[in-house]
Amino acid sequence: MVDPAWIALSLVERVGGKTMRALLAQFGSAGAVLMAESHELRRVPGIGATIAASIRAVDVSAVEREIPRWQAAGIHIITDSDPDYPPQLRALDDAPPTIFVRGVWDEALRKAEAIAIVGTRAPSEIALGAAESLAFDLARRGYLIVSGLALGIDRKAHFSAIAAAGNTVAVLGGGVLNVYPPANKGLAEAICAHGALLSETHPYAESKPAHLVARNRIISGLCSAVIVVETKVDGGAMHAARWAREQGRALYTLDLPASGNRQLIDQGAIALDPFNLQALLEP
């Protein structure tokens, strides 16, 4: 049974896993948090005037009305106490209190070993070919391919996993019912038949830079390894690499001249030869 108060509270901007746990420790339940006065909320570490005001403004009845509509649209609403919540994600300090999943979410998918394949939206031909080979061969061997549904490397990784008759999960920076970029809407529907779309944001939320950055901790958190195929030093895939290191995930990157790849290799990422990927692909 989904608790509307929990869902409503978890959708408040900047109330992540750590803040949610602090609030629950103080007040005992999501419902009690939403009933608290602003001055009471501000006694909780990390809660300032802005977040307190956002919590006070929550309309639980509106969320309660929306939940059946989301579920009718095929969304699984999964809280971090639900047995369907990915255990490797639950183990993170800042695990999302609630995730919204659309597509296949069976036990086999949840238990599959996952590898993230991420990178630039404007890849070189070498990088694009490597992403295709990696995703296809790893998916064919039973790995779940995780990426972020962006153009470029992400798109190629998802497509290649599907082409291999494998499974893939796209972690979105917006809502699972508001796919971005629009050019990937067809791909998103295909993913739902071979895996799932996953997000911590409101199902109709627009993608925002902050959400796109934050979703990288989920991409790496779901996986045992992260492969950064190609990126500039200021590219979004560098966030996935940072989270991979913080979460203790294996981190790989291709031995390419892109500035991000060079920095990652200098920092200790495992370098892969783009013309000889067998070292990673060997069983």
Q: Over the stretch 246-258, which tens digit does the pLDDT of each residue have?
A: 999 999 999 999 9
Same domain, yes or no: 166 and 222:
yes
Mean pLDDT value across the chain: 95
Domain count, the chain: 2
Q: What's residue 261's pLDDT?
A: 98
Residue 95 within a domain: no
Q: What's residue 10's pLDDT?
A: 96
| The pLDDT of residue 283 is above 60 | no
Banded pLDDT at 275 (limits 50, 70, 90): confident
CB 274 within 8 A of CB 249: no
Same domain, yes or no: 145 and 239:
yes
Instruction: Please tell me the pTM assigned to this model.
Output: 0.95
| The pLDDT of residue 30 is above 80 | yes
CA–CA dist 91, 88 (Å, integer): 5
| Residue range of the domain that includes 272 | 107-281
Residue 77 within a domain: no
Same domain, yes or no: 45 and 130:
no
Residue 100 within a domain: no
Same domain, yes or no: 217 and 267:
yes
Same domain, yes or no: 172 and 235:
yes
| The pLDDT of residue 77 is above 80 | yes
Same domain, yes or no: 268 and 141:
yes
Same domain, yes or no: 130 and 254:
yes
Residue 252 within a domain: yes
Q: What's residue 277's pLDDT?
A: 82
Q: What's residue 263's pLDDT?
A: 98
Q: What's residue 276's pLDDT?
A: 84
Banded pLDDT at 281 (limits 50, 70, 90): low
| The pLDDT of residue 242 is above 70 | yes
3-class SS letters over the chain:
CCCHHHHHHHCCCCCCHHHHHHHHHHHCCHHHHHHCCHHHHCCCCCCCHHHHHHHHCCCHHHHHHHHHHHHHCCEEEEECCCCCCCHHHHCCCCCCCEEEEEECCCHHHHHCCEEEEECCCCCCHHHHHHHHHHHHHHHHCCCEEEECCCCCHHHHHHHHHHHCCCCEEEECCCCCCCCCCHHHHHHHHHHHHHEEEEECCCCCCCCCHHHHHHHHHHHHHCCCEEEECCCCCCCCHHHHHHHHHHCCCEEEEECCCCHHHHHHHHCCCEEEECCECHHHHCC
Residue 121 within a domain: yes
Assign residue 272 the CATH number of its domain. 3.40.50.450
Banded pLDDT at 270 (limits 50, 70, 90): very high
Mind listing the pLDDT tens digit for each residue in 182-202?
A: 999 999 999 999 999 999 999
